[in-house]
Structure 1
Amino acid sequence: MLKRYSVLLMLVLIPATSWASPYFENIGWVNPKGHVTSQLQYPQLVEEIYRENGEQLIWFDLQESSQLEFQLEVIDAGNISPMLSRQLKQLRFYRNSHRWFEYDILATDAMITYMSYAEQAKHMGKEWYFESKLNHSLPPPSDEGLNALYASIKTQELGELIDTHTPDSDDYQDLIKAYLHLAQSHDKELPKYHQDAKLKSMGDLLSARKQLLARLEVVDIDVSHVDFNVGYYDAKLESAIKQFQRMHGLKPDGVIGPKTQKWLNTSNSERLAMLAVNAERTRMWPEQRNTIILVNVPSFEMEYWHNGESVFQSRVVVGKQARKTPVMTTNLDSVILNPTWNVPWKIMVEDIIPKVKADPQYLRKQNIDIIASWRSNTIIDPAAINWNTLNPKAFPYRMRQMSGHYNALGLYKFNTPNKRAIFLHDTPSKSLFSKESRAFSSGCVRVKNADAFASLLLEKQGVDLDKLNVSPNEANKSIPLRKRIPVHIIYQTAWAEGDTVQYRDDVYRFDH
């Protein structure tokens, strides 16, 4: 039988160790004292699978085993799981050594691990992709998954089973396509591009033109029409640089400054890692685009979908490095007009009280009242507090900023009740929206054109904001939504738009 290995033909010498597995004692081609059995995550389950399969080898189709290895390679390239990286390393060692018995056992174990990883990524991805690496054993796959595994082994359709545990969304597939193209077409690192001074305009001398063009080709910018021998910065090259800048969220001014040069010199391995980790992250993002609000932190952008159509896009300001906007899912339940702002304790202690100590008029200028407690609305006179000797962490009161144009929340709050008190809102600091990098807030998301967003939200709910006749002096006017809208705050530093991959700075250093 061509589809089954012969034990005599495949026999290899497996060195014994002092360690002995309690499993595989009666499977003739397995050495219970071999090193591979000590590497298994699911030894008992693996043994049961082989006994169910008549003690026959499983991975005789090299295309299927290569398919499994590739899925592990993407996880490895994304630096997501040291455990799965070790399994991949051992699989490739056994493959290259033609130690097919050991390879078969480990591949089956790795398949089980991959299935469990795929099943749990939706719920555990926040931990694996943003907090700590997956370096511990996983529970076995679900009963449904194991039944599918047994059936796939019996029908010799493991490739299809791998496909069912791999995302089929366009977001994932586009990133994997870019990963494969980069890995296959640029397998060698290029020399870094250097220039003596910032290139500002056409006609500037360009001494490293070939290196620059090679760097542009890495991200599939067509430079075939650009003359390789011209020794200065010309219009055709400037057009290519502007395209490159747009791909990386930079101002498309054609000027090769430090930020553009940094992205130009991003290594192939770094780009592959970005593509891989962001491809894996798509396992946890929402697939439906019916009615939903998406905020992507690294792109500093928000998008509102209604009935399957993108109806509003906006720049946003997100949390600074010290006060990150969290990856999370919540629901928008109401729009609040002319909101007051109950100052969070951390901001009060770390930001406001030090400013009050430096400027006794700060609270008056910012229209902030001191309130006796959360259960009381009694206003405390700031002059009654000895600010010079005050320990901010022992401050017994709370603070509330009154509504108005200078309120930190602006004129609109998009209420999303959650334990972390993260919500979307307007802002008086409109100038921040013009900056390339917009990580300035204390965690909440500031929305550009919040008035247009509020009007559209309410319009889609059958409410005409212009007909509400809300008084400018009326604070905290809450307008409930008839149907709550899911809000997903995601973190994606690479994604595809059409045929172009977009890259953004890893503002919170989650990719590493």
Structure 2
Amino acid sequence: MLIKLKWVVYHLLVTLLIILTSAQVGAETAFNKVSNNSEASRQLSSLAYDLGAGVRVNETMNKTGLARLLDNHVFGEDFKHQSLSAEQYLTLIERNDVERLRMLIKHYKSLERYQWPTVAPIELRLGLRTKEVAKLRWILAQLGDITPYSMPVYRESIFDPSIEEGLKLFQRRHGHTVNGKLVPQTILALNTEPSIRVAQLQNALKETLIEFDGTKDYVSVNLMAQTLRITKNGVVKLVMPVIVGKPTSKTPELNTTISAITVNPSWTPPASIIYQDIFKYIEKQPNYLRNNDFVFKSYTSNSIDNNVGGMDSNSLKHKLKNSALVQLPGTKNALGKYRFTIPNSEAIFLHDTPGKHLFKRSNRALSHGCIRLSQPELFANYLMSKEPENTRFVFKNAIKNKQTRHFNLTSKLPINVSYQSVWIDKAGRLQVRANTLAIRGKDG
């Protein structure tokens, strides 16, 4: 009887211990869940403040509510059609590009507490001592163009080589002529209050969040930076300089996809290029059309007429009534080896070019509106790497030949073409350009 009683007591104690342990584990799990939710909410709230949506953050908001607040701020009118989950926002927060933008936003917000100095136009020379130099030194130090300094007050006003180098770095970051002088363009940028930069950085951060798609690569062309890059979930896969529309025919902003690649394309110049450029060329060089592989293609029969030698502008005008002017594929073709189709209403596309030397220029706003790539073969190979094996095989053979071949892509990568006035370069420095609105541009 005593032994049986002992077993009963033992089982009761074990059961009680299990209940207590379970309760403790449940409490710890609940605590961790609350703690994790609290940390996630804190991070989402912090992102909202960096984006400028912090005034609408309610302390009682949970992760889902904060995600909807961010959606409304990031996507605006498209909020009902586009959204990100709280988990997606938390993933974005960990990305290096997002983190760098947020750090800069915080830095420029911290500068808003100062009454920003106004630098006056003066002629700088080494050894010059004036309060304008002290203002310049302070601004450059705050913006990271010179190393923060500790020196006697009287030396702060003396123009020395360190300020000159800092001013040149500032000019380089803003796309100005790098001369170490206080020219009007540089003065305007120096006197720009931090709140303006905060707004620009917040817009750049919004664009980065909008582009989020963890499953796809994303192509972006910054018309200000004159660069193309492919990123996947914040990781840069490919970057290259490009040529964009010149001031009289700027490349328009576009949000579309890359739908096809043409190997060995022909080129049919639009009327604007024929009348603005080609007419001038044939007046100076009567055999310009023949020397550059142009032919006429009948509008009705598609027959080819290669009798283009010695043609003047009047003869060309007459011929264009019944035929299109076409440049045959080859080394002289204005589109080079590759053309990339991006559906849009502006007749804009990406393409190769025989004028490779132009990519060495710092200002590459030179085209009639289309985007010329410095490394089109890398771009083409990257796009084709997403295609089926048999398509890649046919593509490789097409490159070796001279015939025109079209490849419709099954993996249509999204592409955004925009004028981004601020971005972070590969050295981690903020780049700023004067904000310019895009106007229509239609030709290559």
Compute the TM-score of the two structures, normalised by the length of structure 2: 0.64
Q: Does 1:364 align with 2:287?
A: no
Question: Which position in structure 2 is the counterpart of 1:262?
Answer: 185
The yes-or-no answer on 1:448 pairing with 2:371 is no
- Counterpart of 2:123, as a letter, is Q
Q: Partner residue of 2:337?
A: 411
Correspondences of 1:414-433 after superposition (within 5 Å): 414-433=340-359
Q: Letter of the 1:288 partner, please give it.
A: D
Query: Which residue of the other structure, out of 495, 499, 504, is the alignment partner of 2:433?
Result: 504
AA at the equivalent of 1:213: R
Query: Partner of 1:192 in structure 2?
Result: 120
Structure 1 pair 457–432 and aligned structure 2 pair: CA distance change class (3 A): same
Q: CA deviation at 1:170?
A: 5.5
Which residue number in structure 2 is paired with residue 471 of structure 1? 400
Larger radius of gyration: 2
Correspondent of 1:401 among 317, 327, 335: 327
Task: Return the alpha-carbon distance in structure 2 between the equivalents of residues 237 and 339 of structure 1.
Answer: 52
Q: How far off is 1:411 after superposition?
A: 1.8
1:212 to 133, 136, 143: 136
> How far did residue 319 of structure 1 move?
0.8
Aligned residue number for residue 211 of structure 2? 286
Contact 2:240–2:375, Cα closer than 8 Å, also in 1: yes
Question: 231, 243, 261: which one pairs with 1:335?
Answer: 261
Counterpart mapping for 1:170-181 below 5 A:
173=102, 176-181=105-110
Note the C-alpha offset of 1:312: 0.8
Q: Which runs of 5+ in 2 are unaligned?
A: 1-47, 56-68, 81-88, 440-444
1:169-217 per-residue CA deviation (whole Å, 9 max, x = no partner) reads 6587456435523422x42332235335xx8xxxx55556434313313
Distance 1:174 1:431 in 2: 37
1: CA distance, partners of 2:253 / 2:74 = 20
- How much identity, in percent, do the aligned residues show? 24
> Using the alignment, how far apart are the partners of 2:305 and 2:53 within structure 1?
60
Structure 1 residue aligned with 2:421: 493
Bigger helix share: 2
Query: C-alpha root-mean-square deviation of aligned residues, in Å?
Result: 4.5
Please, what TM-score do these two structures have when normalized by structure 1? 0.57
Equivalent of 2:272 in 321, 329, 346? 346
Mapped to 2, the partners of 1:218 and 1:438 lie a distance apart of: 31
**Matched residue, 2:17:** none
Q: What is the Cα deviation at residue 369 of structure 1?
A: 1.8
Q: Read off the aligned partner of 1:328 and give its amino acid letter.
A: L
Residue 362 of structure 2 corresponds to which residue in structure 1? 436
Count of residues in correspondence between the two structures: 355
User: 1:376 aligns to what SS in structure 2?
Assistant: coil
Provide the C-alpha distance between the structure 2 equivalents of 1:468 and 1:324, rounded to a whole number of angstroms.
36
Question: Is the 1:349–1:392 contact (alpha carbons within 8 Å) kept by the matching residues of 2?
Answer: no
Q: How does 1:83-232 map to 2 (within 5 A)?
A: 118=73, 121=76, 173=102, 176-184=105-113, 186-195=114-123, 209-225=133-149, 228=155
8 Å CA contact retained: 2:52, 2:202:
no
Q: Is the 8 A contact 2:262 2:405 kept in 1?
A: yes
Counterpart amino acid of 2:413? I
Which amino acid in structure 1 is aligned with residue 211 of structure 2? Answer: P
Give a deviation string over 1:54-99, Cα, whole Å, max 9, x none.
Answer: xxxxxxxxxxxxx99x95999xxxxxxxxxxxxxxxxxxxxxxxxx
Report the Cα offset of residue 291 of structure 1. Answer: 0.7
* Alignment match, 1:355: 281
Distance 1:433 1:487 in 2: 21
Decide which of 160, 170, 174 is 1:244's aligned counterpart. 170
Aligned to 1:87: none
Q: CA deviation at 1:264?
A: 4.9
Displacement after TM superposition at 1:379 (Å): 2.3
CA distance in 2, matches of 1:173, 1:413: 37
* Letter matched to residue 434 of structure 2: D
Helix, strand or coil at the partner of 2:413: strand
Q: CA deviation at 1:400?
A: 1.4
User: Which amino acid letter does the alignment assign opposite residue 449 of structure 1?
Assistant: Q
Q: CA offsets per residue over residues 128-187 of structure 1, 9 Å max, x none?
A: xxxxxxxxxxxxx97xxxxxxxxxxxxxxxxxxxxx9xx986587456435523422x42
Structure 1 Cα separation of the partners of residues 300 and 159 of structure 2: 66
Rounded Cα–Cα distance in structure 2 between residues aligned with 1:178 and 1:361: 60
Contact between 1:171 and 1:279, CA under 8 Å: does it hold in 2?
no
Aligned in 2, Cα 1:226/1:416: closer, same or farther, shift over 3 Å?
A: farther
Partner of 1:276: 199
CA distance in 1 between counterparts of 2:217 and 2:321 reads 43
Q: 1:484 aligns with which of 396, 401, 412?
A: 412
The separation in 1 between residues aligned to 2:53 and 2:385, in whole angstroms, is 47
CA distance in structure 1 between the aligned counterparts of 2:166 and 2:134, rounded to whole angstroms: 14
User: Structure 1 residues 195, 384: CA separation in 2 closer, same or farther (over 3 Å shift)?
Assistant: closer
Structure 2 CA distance, aligned partners of 1:342 and 1:271? 48
Determine if contact 2:241/2:374 at 8 Å carries over to the other structure: yes
Cα shift at 1:384: 9.6
Q: Give the whole-Å Cα distance in 2 for the aligned partners of 1:375 and 1:258.
A: 63
Partner Cα distance (2:243, 2:193) in 1? 26
Post-superposition offset of 1:324: 1.5
CA contact (8 A) 2:244 2:370 kept: yes
Task: Decide whether aligned partners of structure 1 residues 229 and 292 sit closer, same or farther in structure 2, where only a CA change above 3 A counts.
Answer: closer
Letter in 2 for 1:279: Q
Structure 1 alignment gaps of length 5 or more:
1-66, 75-113, 124-140, 143-163
Structure 1 residues 374, 439: CA separation in 2 closer, same or farther (over 3 Å shift)? Answer: farther
Quote how far apart the aligned CAs of 1:394 are.
7.9
Aligned to 1:23: none
- Equivalent position amino acid for 1:339 in 2: P
Distance 1:429 1:346 in 2: 20
Do the aligned partners of residues 195 and 406 (structure 1) sit closer, same or farther apart at CA in structure 2, a change above 3 Å counting? farther
Q: Structure 2 counterpart of 1:192, which letter?
A: A
